[in-house]
Amino acid sequence: MATYFTADTHFGDAPLVQRRRFAFRSVESHDEALIARWNAVVSAGDTVWHLGDFAADASRAHCAAVFARLNGIKRLVRGNHDTNRVLDLAWAEPPVESARITVQDADGRAWRLFLSHYPHRSWPGFWRETRHFYGHTHACLPDTSRACDVGADACGYRPMDLATLIARQDAAEQAPEEMAARGLR
């Protein structure tokens, strides 16, 4: 059972799909493609942390129908578009504003993570090797050696596994500002 991360799926969001028009012709094709890509990587027993903006501009019925089709044990860190139609879905636990978790990789190494919809310049556990995953920015901020955008736009419109995201951070040329100011990576 693996753990995956995603954000900013924006199911049912016609205005956002217009900005993603290079990849999707309509809201329906957008939603179907994201569901297919999610289910291609996530199995029923896997955990998916959704870091906000699950849906926008969608009815309760549409949100519930999409949610029911997605594989995995789903948890939500609330985003700015997550109103009651999203918060009331059958999440594995009640949605939270942010989360501090520890996840083991395939080799058994434990990784401390700070999860938020919003990117932080510094975060709880920053100086204790805690990594930061966020959404909200739609791939407009560069990864750093400790933080990255896990949103759909930054991840091929699919949830990403821990190893892939850690590798992205490790390959990042930029250090978080607080570290860079001290000459650290």
Q: Note whether residue 58 is domain-resident.
A: yes
Is 185 inside any structural domain? no
Domain contains 120? yes
- Indicate whether 170 belongs to any domain: yes
80 and 116 Cβ atoms separated by less than 8 Å: no
Beta bridge partners of 160: 5
Identify the CA nearest to 57 among candidates 29, 32, 81. Answer: 81
| Tens digits of residue pLDDT in 129-156 | 999 999 999 999 999 999 999 999 999 9
On whether residue 114 sits in a domain, the answer given is: yes
Q: pLDDT at position 146, please?
A: 97
pTM (predicted TM-score)? 0.96
46 contacts 73 by C-beta, under 8 angstroms = yes
Q: How many domains does the chain have?
A: 1
Range of the domain at 119: 3-180
Output the six-digit token pair for 48: 């998916």
Domain of 85, CATH number, reads 3.60.21.10
Q: Classify residue 169: in a domain, yes or no.
A: yes
Tens of pLDDT along the chain (185 residues)? 999 999 999 999 999 888 888 889 999 999 999 999 999 999 999 999 999 999 998 999 999 999 999 999 999 999 999 999 999 999 999 999 999 999 999 899 999 999 999 999 999 999 999 999 999 999 999 999 999 999 999 999 999 999 999 999 999 999 998 888 888 87
C-alpha dihedral, 86 to 123 to 3 to 54, nearest 10°: 20
The enclosing H or E element of 99 equals: strand 98-104
